[in-house]
Amino acid sequence: MRPAELAQDHVLDLPVFVHVLSQLEKREGYVPELVVHLRPTAPYREPAWVDEAVELLRNNPEADSVRSVSEPREHPYRVFRRAADGYLAPVMAHEHPTPALLRRQDQPTMFHYNCVVDVTRPRTIHGQQSMTGARMLPLILPRDHVFDVDTPLDLRITRAFMEGRL
């Protein structure tokens, strides 16, 4: 069981995984080869995606983790911040002088971390004090099959997809 201080809404993943791995080793003498993290806010996932993520990390010993990603629905080149002067400033201006003016087909391929499946090595968690480490491999998933449930509408959309109505 998780201690109360690790069961709060504000607690990040790392201390929880450090605790679990420590308890497994202390109580059972067990250190897993890999750790798979399946977040409940991404309720739809194909079992093959999990298997693929595990095999991807297992077959790449120099990698620290695998993160599932998808192409974003809204490209970062079309994202702005409101600057201190009140005007819009392109977030990706450091990549291109006028990123929002590029045609869709001229924008570089980018990926959004979708939280569907993560696989990490215990050595990454302990040694780098990180859930990802510096060397992340992508598991690229189709964006139309990835759902992040943060609102009641997200839940309705996800249910409709899973029930075959979308």
Which pLDDT tens digits describe the chain residue by residue (166 residues)?
789 999 999 999 999 999 999 999 999 999 999 999 999 999 999 999 999 999 999 999 999 999 999 999 999 999 999 999 999 999 999 999 999 999 989 999 999 999 999 999 999 999 999 999 999 999 999 999 999 999 999 999 999 999 997 6
For residues 123 and 164, membership in a common domain is answered with: yes
Chain centroid to Cα 152, Å, comes to 21
For residues 82 and 52, membership in a common domain is answered with: no
Q: Is residue 160 in a domain?
A: yes
Q: Is residue 148 in a domain?
A: yes
Asked if 65 and 123 count as a contact pair (C-beta separation under 8 A), the reply is: no
User: Number of folded domains in the chain?
Assistant: 2
d(CA 165, CA 128): 44
Instruction: List C-alpha distances in Å: 92 to 40, 76, 78, 80.
Output: 31, 7, 8, 8
For residues 65 and 130, membership in a common domain is answered with: yes
